[in-house]
Amino acid sequence: MITIKDEWLQRDMEAFFKARADITAGIVTLTPEALSGALLAFVMALRESKEKLGDTRFRLLLAEYAATLREPRQAAGALDGPRSNGIDVRAAVRAGVITDLEEDAVGDLSPLEARDLARQIDTIIGKAYEVPGE
């Protein structure tokens, strides 16, 4: 059985929502070495592409690519249920409020298990905002 920390502190909430935003945006935490290697490979590919395409075609291609990066991403609220549930569970694992599950193993859960865990997370978040005695 997978357990979720039942009382979250502010740091837990912040870590959960940061992880959720990172996952939703497709951001993967990279080491500085991995990032520098990826950037070097990207720059080398750019140089090679520019040589093959010529300056004008390369600039047009680069402008088109930049335009696609500026397009708004799909809003997190517009995600379908299964993806939203998976993101919530992955974020809880990444934030450390689920400790007996690895982030990579979330995909191996049944859709029912992921939905149930996501619902528990929602309940815990709601309880964190309850005023005692009300």
Mean pLDDT within 40-59: 82
CA 88, CA 17: separation in Å to the nearest integer? 9
DSSP 8-state class, residue 108: G
The structural domain count of the chain equals: 1
Does a structural domain hold residue 120? yes
Cα separation, 82 vs 65, in Å, equals 30
Q: Is residue 134 in a domain?
A: no
Give Cβ neighbours of residue 87 (< 8 Å, ≥ 6 apart): 20, 23, 24, 76, 79
User: Are 58 and 50 within 8 A, CB to CB?
Assistant: yes
Does residue 79 belong to any structural domain of this protein?
yes
Q: How confident is the model at residue 115 (pLDDT cuts 50, 70, 90)?
A: very high
Cβ pair 81, 115 in contact under 8 A: yes
Asked whether residue 5 is domain-assigned, the answer is no
With 90 as the cut, is the pLDDT of residue 48 above it? no
Report pLDDT for 30.
66
- Is position 133 within any domain? no
DSSP secondary structure, 63-86, as one string:
HHHHHHHHSPPPPGGGS-HHHHHH
Domain interval for residue 15: 10-128
Is the model more confident about 36 or about 93? 93
* 54 domain-assigned: yes
The single-letter DSSP state of residue 120 is H
Per-residue confidence at 77, pLDDT binned at 50, 70, 90?
Answer: very low
* Dihedral Cα 108, 111, 113, 114, nearest 10 deg: 80
Residue 23, in any domain of the structure: yes
In 3D space, the residue among 42, 66, 43, 46 whose CA is nearest the CA of residue 55 turns out to be 46
Give me the chain's average pLDDT, please: 82
Question: Is position 27 within any domain?
Answer: yes
